[in-house]
Amino acid sequence: MSTETETRAAAKAELPKAYEPAEVEARWYPIWNDRGYFTADPHSTKPAYCIVLPPPNVTGSLHLGHALTATIQDILIRWKRMSGFNCLWLPGTDHAGIATQMVVERELMKTEKKTRHDLGREEFLKRVWAWKEKFGARIGEQHKVLGASLDWTRERFTMDAGVSDAVKEVFIRLHSEGLLYRAQKLINWDPVLHTALSDLEVDNEERDGFLWHIAYPVKDSTERLVVATTRPETMLGDTAVAVHPEDPRYKHLIGKTVVLPLVNREIPIIGDAILVNPEFGTGVVKVTPAHDHNDYATGQRNNLPMINIFDESARVNENGGPYAGLDRFEARKRVVADLKERELLIEEKPYKVPLALSQRTGVPVEPRLSWQWYVKIKPLADAAIAAVEQGRTKFVPETWTNTYFGWMRNIHDWCVSRQLWWGHQIPAWYPMGPDGKVDFESSTPVVAREKPEGDWVQDPDVLDTWFSSALWPFSTLGWPNADAPDLKTFYPNSVMETGHDIIFFWVARMMMMGIHFMGDVPFRTVYLHAMVRDEKGEKMSKTKGNVIDPLDIVRGAPAANLPAAVRNKFPQGMPAMGADALRFTLASLTQQGRDIKLSVDRIAGYKAFCNKVWNAARFALMNLGDYQDDPKLFIKERSLSLADRWILSRLNRAIAGTQTALANYHFAEAASLIYQFLWGEFCDWYIELSKSSLYGDDPHAKTSTRAVLTFCLDHILRLLHPFMPFITEEIWQKLPILREVESICLATYPMEDRRLDDRAAEEEMKPIIEAIEGIRTIRGESNLSPALKIEAHVQSSSDDVRQTLDRWRAYVMPMAGLKKLTVMGLGPKPPQAAADIRAQMEIYVPLAGIVDLAEERERLKKEIEKAEKEIGVINKKFENPNYAARAPADLVEKDKARIAELESRIQKLSDNLKRIAPVEVRIAPPAAGSVNLGEELKEELSGVSVPDPDNQVKEALDKLREGTKEGLSSRDRYDLGVAYMNMGLVDDAVREFNKAREGDEAAGEAAATARGAPAKKPAAKKPAAKKPAAKKPAVKKPAVKKPTVKKPAVKKPTVKKPAVKKPTVKKAPAKKAPAKTAAAKKAPSSEPAAKQAAAGKPASKKPAATKKR
């Protein structure tokens, strides 16, 4: 005994009440890593599973995109590792040529006011390396914070010796195969960075600009050709004017020349059907082959000379005559001004100009003629297309397949050289001239790994960063050494998981390179995740100030560090959510093909989930006593309770569902399944149900419940581990189970086990849950305090249901807060009881003396309406004769059964409504005209026509009138009393209440209920009454009217309700109500009735309701 208390105390001390992620998360990662759990074994006999982490920029810092990537991949890796795979998750960083060089240059300028040219190449590179040494480890450390189970022993960097060697090898081989060449072409030039860019590194955007019409005088003629252009300054480099060869306006001029204004150069008028669209502008196009892609092509077609008018910074060069030295935009202004002056500017109109902008600098790219290295891409692309067509690599979600094909089929040669310093210097060598100079333009380079003998100079350019990235799936595994064990074991990789924004930059190129150099696809599956956005769906960017740092989420952050939107939610700063919560959130938000809008509320919700897991474990550990799991005894071999069997069966479903979801990359679904099971079934039901045996006296029941609790927790934790590695490990270590492995990281992932399935238990639990929920609904609707123990009657026609409820009353009673549970067949209903009518049972909770029956009535009416509405929906189907004829028979049957069920439900609800209706005697409807009921009653009610009271009262009154007062049950008496009360006849009311009480005491419960179903349809008497009290939409009327009279008067404690509920549409009728009341008040004829309603009501419920409230 005392030991048990001690154990409990100890457990309690060990597990704090609230989960604190900070301490737990910091503790586990080093342990896992140091023990080598994440280190892959190339010689393992287990099946291999490999993912390479998309290498983040070395100098980068973790953002939510990384966090999402890491989360998804870690889920896959941990899941597979636990499922018996030999897993390699390979980390690395990318040298990120342009980005890193820019960062260091900026820093250099800031601290030393120097440019890279001031330092020189060698010194500058030293600085970049130093920078890399300083910050390169940061992003890796940040991944560890997230719990990413990466194999750090294999960490790579794109400029490592090994990877660099692979880069050289690929360059040389491609060159020798004729797939890599050097050429002078028009490329995208960044005038700020002074480098070429690939097409992918350019963004197109429309900006406000102008379309200028400029007159070019035709030589030896008075005619002028008017060209349309958005870039007038480029006319300095014009070498032709083009018209459509069939254009009647200009046809005759083809072959002549124009004199280029400002420059006075004579250039030909050519006909070119490809370039010129006669419909557009003036139908005349100036041709500047050196500065426009279209014009370049035109120049090629027509053998036009090319005049380069810009230098590397896009300033006008010596070819620009008087404009030399001007920046291109300055030159534009000057050219326009000069043209205007010479009256050659015909028109200047606003125009949306398509602009090509450098992704890096945001500056308009200047098409520039230059020598660059290109990969001849078509042959590589063809193979990569075929691989996907053949299904050797598949995309998830599949929709990306088309995007991939679309790009691959229209691919252009890849410009791979960059005029940067930071990167893989191109292994090409140029002969040094006798003067010690190198002519990079006209000399032919030698491509070789090392400098050849003699005076050679290496190509100063470096390779596009994506060139080395394209090799990542094999360059990291030891290639070009074909015998490298890692390469043999882990190529092809299993999955490439990355953002869809780099499908062209990276995925497509890995496909091409992998297939070409390895002879097989680099990965079997490409899983492309969505982009993480802020809550409004906007891209997170520093300029917008909406960037949320994942580490702030994990560790918490002062308000000042948070973007405005988040700060509003956490004015005191954001609490530490923990990596587990962040990971679970991200996993829950993954859906296919759409953006992820990250909501901090959602993260907070999952932090709460962590706490729930924690406390479920805490509960278990506090109640396990000295239980120690016996691995030889399979859980189902124990003598189990119904709840035990039920939860095991449910657990098994959760396991099966999670496995399926994971196998299909449905991370959100997997997360949701675990969440629902753990919280909605294990905690809400099983833990609560387990208390009866845990706190009970039966030692066997206690032990088996402890065993099941332990079993479930063990499985849940393992199921959850890939999503929430830290908390699951922390708890798992404390479970009294026999651990064959020292960490949950190495434990086996739960597998579906048919032996746990128990359909019978699940079926048997249904009525129990239904009964509990039904009673709780009544409780909630009647605003009964959870502390108040109540009585419930459950009636069911099914023997099974009755037996189950009877047998498991130990479940039902505490869960529903009952002091007494009566289970019986259908029969007389308890008086003044709230009811919940369900398919398999009717639940009654006597409310007399506890609660306001008016609310119960409202509820019942609502229920009836709801059921009627549903019948309406189904009946609508049957109105169409084709439905019964053509729809599947089982469906039609189902609908018929449903109607029957609903009808019986309505009947029962109406019956119940009738039984508690009298309280509702609404004198209010002034339909009765000026009849003063009170007066009439005093005259023994003779000859009075009652203005539509509910049937029961009517009956009672009828009986009274007939002088059969003796026939009144105590129930009738009570009702009558209420009726008197409503009419202000207090004395009469008290008399009836007293008699009712006497009658009750005398007759006992049985007698009181005896009057179960008298006179079902007493309505036969007068057509005035709406007899069945239901059936038609007409019912709605009274439902609407009621509140008018009753609510203001009776409901003083609940007045809030109507006051608060403004946003609902339903308000409309309520608004009408007061108007009617007012009208009634004004009408002189109804004055007495109105007065009574107003005055009498407040008193109405008192006698019954005073007790509890």
Partner RNA sequence: GGGCGGAUAGCUCAGCGGUAGAGCGUCGCCCUUACAAGGCGAGGGUCACAGGUUCGAAACCUGUUCCGCCCACCA
Residues 579-598 that bind RNA (CB under 7 A): 589, 591-597
Token digits for 34? 């140091």
Residue 787 binding RNA, by CB under 7 A? yes
Q: How far is the CB of 817 from RNA (least distance, A)?
A: 8
For 369, residues 6+ apart whose C-beta sits below 8 A from its C-beta are: 184, 185, 186, 187, 290, 296, 306, 308
Question: Where in 512-541 is the site for RNA (CB under 7 A)?
Answer: 535-537, 539
Question: Where in 546-565 is the site for RNA (CB under 7 A)?
Answer: none
Kindly tell me which of 18 and 1078 has the beta carbon lying closer to RNA: 18
Kindly tell me which of 7 and 599 has the beta carbon lying closer to RNA: 599
Q: Which of 728, 587, 714 is nearest to 651 (CA)?
A: 714
Question: Can you tell me whether residue 1002 is helix, strand or coil?
Answer: helix
Kindly tell me which of 176 and 399 has the beta carbon lying closer to RNA: 399
For 603, residues 6+ apart whose C-beta sits below 8 A from its C-beta are: 553, 577, 581, 582, 585
How far apart (Å, rounded) are the C-alpha atoms in residues 240 and 298?
Answer: 10
- Considering only 543-551, 784-792, 822-830, 977-985, which stretch makes contact with RNA by CB under 7 A? 784-792
- Considering only 479-487, 927-935, 1044-1052, 1055-1063, which stretch makes contact with RNA by CB under 7 A? 1055-1063
Kindly tell me which of 322 and 354 has the beta carbon lying closer to RNA: 354
Question: Where in 381-410 is the site for RNA (CB under 7 A)?
Answer: 399, 402-403, 406-407, 410
**Looking at 161, 889, 1065, 1068, which residue binds RNA (CB under 7 A)?**
1065
Taking CB atoms within 8 Å and a gap of at least 24, the contacts of 81-85 are 81/37, 81/49, 81/149, 81/745, 81/746, 82/718, 82/721, 82/722, 82/745, 82/746, 82/747, 82/748, 82/749, 83/748, 83/749, 84/46, 84/47, 84/748, 85/46, 85/47, 85/48, 85/49
Residue 458 binding RNA, by CB under 7 A? no
Q: How far is the CB of 118 from RNA (least distance, A)?
A: 36
Kindly tell me which of 168 and 618 has the beta carbon lying closer to RNA: 618
∠ at Cα 281 (280, 286), nearest 5°?
105
- Considering only 175-183, 369-377, 840-848, 1064-1072, which stretch makes contact with RNA by CB under 7 A? 1064-1072
Q: How far is the CB of 607 from RNA (least distance, A)?
A: 5
Question: Where in 864-893 is the site for RNA (CB under 7 A)?
Answer: 870, 873-874, 877, 880, 882-883, 885-888, 891
Count the Cβ atoms, other than its own, within 10 Å of residue 456.
17
- Considering only 440-448, 599-607, 751-759, 951-959, which stretch makes contact with RNA by CB under 7 A? 599-607
Kindly tell me which of 834 and 1104 has the beta carbon lying closer to RNA: 834
Residue 752 binding RNA, by CB under 7 A? no
Please, is 717 exposed, middle or buried when counting C-beta atoms within 10 Å of its C-beta (0-12, 13-18, 19+)? buried
Kindly tell me which of 375 and 923 has the beta carbon lying closer to RNA: 375
Q: Are 720 and 613 in contact, with CB atoms under 8 Å apart?
A: yes
**Looking at 36, 47, 354, 558, which residue binds RNA (CB under 7 A)?**
354
Q: How far is the CB of 337 from RNA (least distance, A)?
A: 19
Q: How far is the CB of 2 from RNA (least distance, A)?
A: 18
Q: Are 1104 and 849 in contact, with CB atoms under 8 Å apart?
A: yes
How far apart (Å, rounded) are the C-alpha atoms in residues 557 and 548?
Answer: 10
Q: Are 501 and 530 in contact, with CB atoms under 8 Å apart?
A: no
Question: Can you tell me whether residue 242 is helix, strand or coil?
Answer: strand
Q: How far is the CB of 805 from RNA (least distance, A)?
A: 17
Residue 422 binding RNA, by CB under 7 A? no
Question: Where in 231-290 is the site for RNA (CB under 7 A)?
Answer: 231, 275-283, 285-286
Q: Are 979 and 1096 in contact, with CB atoms under 8 Å apart?
A: no
Kindly tell me which of 429 and 686 has the beta carbon lying closer to RNA: 686
Residue 204 binding RNA, by CB under 7 A? yes
Question: Where in 330-349 is the site for RNA (CB under 7 A)?
Answer: none
- Considering only 313-321, 443-451, 674-682, 983-991, which stretch makes contact with RNA by CB under 7 A? 674-682
Q: How far is the CB of 578 from RNA (least distance, A)?
A: 8
Kindly tell me which of 40 and 314 has the beta carbon lying closer to RNA: 314
Kindly tell me which of 85 and 404 has the beta carbon lying closer to RNA: 404
**Looking at 306, 353, 369, 1040, which residue binds RNA (CB under 7 A)?**
353
Question: Where in 286-325 is the site for RNA (CB under 7 A)?
Answer: 286, 292-294
Question: Where in 470-509 is the site for RNA (CB under 7 A)?
Answer: 501, 504
**Looking at 166, 616, 701, 735, which residue binds RNA (CB under 7 A)?**
616
Round the CA-based radius of gyration of the chain to a whole number and report it.
42
Question: Where in 629-668 is the site for RNA (CB under 7 A)?
Answer: 668
Residue 1010 binding RNA, by CB under 7 A? no
DSSP collapsed to 3 states, 1064-1107: CCCHHHHHHHHHHHHHHHHCHHHHHHHHHHHHHHHHHCHHHHCC
Kindly tell me which of 873 and 1020 has the beta carbon lying closer to RNA: 873
Q: How far is the CB of 667 from RNA (least distance, A)?
A: 12
Kindly tell me which of 185 and 293 has the beta carbon lying closer to RNA: 293
Q: How far is the CB of 1058 from RNA (least distance, A)?
A: 10
Q: How far is the CB of 1040 from RNA (least distance, A)?
A: 14
Residue 672 binding RNA, by CB under 7 A? yes
189 phi and psi, to 5 degrees? -115, 130
Token digits for 338? 């000069």
How far apart (Å, rounded) are the C-alpha atoms in residues 267 and 243?
Answer: 13
How far apart (Å, rounded) are the C-alpha atoms in residues 160 and 927?
Answer: 94
Question: Where in 12-31 is the site for RNA (CB under 7 A)?
Answer: 17-20
Kindly tell me which of 201 and 629 has the beta carbon lying closer to RNA: 201
Question: Where in 143-202 is the site for RNA (CB under 7 A)?
Answer: 199-200
Q: Are 545 and 561 in contact, with CB atoms under 8 Å apart?
A: no
- Considering only 94-102, 221-229, 374-382, 468-476, which stretch makes contact with RNA by CB under 7 A? 221-229
Q: Are 83 and 147 in contact, with CB atoms under 8 Å apart?
A: no
449 phi and psi, to 5 degrees? -60, -45
Token digits for 108? 């250099």
Dihedral sign, CA of 517, 522, 528, 534? Answer: negative
Q: How far is the CB of 589 from RNA (least distance, A)?
A: 6
- Considering only 164-172, 605-613, 999-1007, 1021-1029, which stretch makes contact with RNA by CB under 7 A? 605-613
Only one residue has tokens 């006497």, namely: 998
How far apart (Å, rounded) are the C-alpha atoms in residues 295 and 282?
Answer: 17
Token digits for 21? 């992620």
Q: How far is the CB of 878 from RNA (least distance, A)?
A: 9
Q: How far is the CB of 506 from RNA (least distance, A)?
A: 13
**Looking at 87, 103, 554, 687, which residue binds RNA (CB under 7 A)?**
687
- Considering only 385-393, 607-615, 735-743, 904-912, which stretch makes contact with RNA by CB under 7 A? 607-615
Kindly tell me which of 12 and 340 has the beta carbon lying closer to RNA: 12
Q: How far is the CB of 305 from RNA (least distance, A)?
A: 19
Question: Where in 112-141 is the site for RNA (CB under 7 A)?
Answer: none
208 phi and psi, to 5 degrees? -70, 130
Size of the site for RNA (CB under 7 A): 105
What length does the chain have? 1109
Q: Are 808 and 771 in contact, with CB atoms under 8 Å apart?
A: no
Q: Which of 522, 409, 474 is nearest to 170 (CA)?
A: 474
How far apart (Å, rounded) are the C-alpha atoms in residues 736 and 366?
Answer: 70
How far apart (Å, rounded) are the C-alpha atoms in residues 1084 and 1091?
Answer: 11
